[in-house]
């Protein structure tokens, strides 16, 4: 196993430009709740947070997830064009 870069442990992950908008995305195999693998394009440039606690007064705390990515379906500026084309 290669030694990972401390600042960006996922620097070796292969980024490919989105065919629609050109943003660099990382295609991953993720597992749904039913353990079925699905291919998901991740945008690694957006911060991802995980909820860590909810206080009695409803105050919610969270921590940033290092190495987390957001599905590019949510961040692609052109994905709306694709949906319209599918109709
Ligand atoms: Zn895109």
Q: Regarding beta strands 60-64 and 49-54, do their DSSP bridges make them parallel or antiparallel, or are they unpaired?
A: antiparallel
- How remote is the CA of residue 38 from the centroid of ligand 1, in Å? 18
Q: What Rg, from alpha-carbon coordinates, does the chain have?
A: 16
Give residue 68's pLDDT. 87
Residue 67 inside a domain? The answer is yes
Q: What are the structure tokens assigned to 66, written together? A: 């290092």
**What residues sit around ligand 1, an ion, with C-beta below 5 angstroms?**
18, 20-21, 76
- How remote is the CA of residue 57 from the centroid of ligand 1, in Å? 39
Predicted confidence band at 25 (pLDDT cuts at 50, 70, 90)?
very high
Q: How many domains does the chain have?
A: 1
Give residue 60's pLDDT. 97
Residue 49 inside a domain? The answer is yes
Q: Write down the pTM of the prediction.
A: 0.69
Residue 7 inside a domain? The answer is no
Please report, to the nearest 10 degrees, the dihedral formed by the alpha carbons of residues 32, 70, 13, 35 taken in order. Answer: 0
Residue 69 inside a domain? The answer is yes
Q: What are the structure tokens assigned to 48, written together? A: 């991802």
Residue 5 inside a domain? The answer is no
- How remote is the CA of residue 53 from the centroid of ligand 1, in Å? 33
Residue 77 inside a domain? The answer is yes
Domain that holds residue 50: 16-86
Q: Can you give the three-state secondary structure of 3-31, one letter per residue?
A: CCCCCCCCCCCCCEECCCCCCEEEEEEEE
């Amino acid at each position: 196993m290669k030694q990972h870069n401390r600042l960006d442990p996922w620097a070796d992950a292969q980024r490919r430009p989105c065919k629609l908008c050109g943003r660099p995305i990382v295609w991953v195999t993720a597992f749904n709740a039913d353990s079925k693998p699905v291919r998901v394009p991740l945008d690694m440039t957006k911060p991802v947070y995980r909820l860590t606690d909810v206080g009695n007064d409803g105050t919610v705390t969270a921590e940033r997830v290092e190495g987390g990515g957001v599905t590019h379906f949510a961040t692609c500026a052109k994905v709306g064009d694709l949906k319209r084309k599918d109709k």
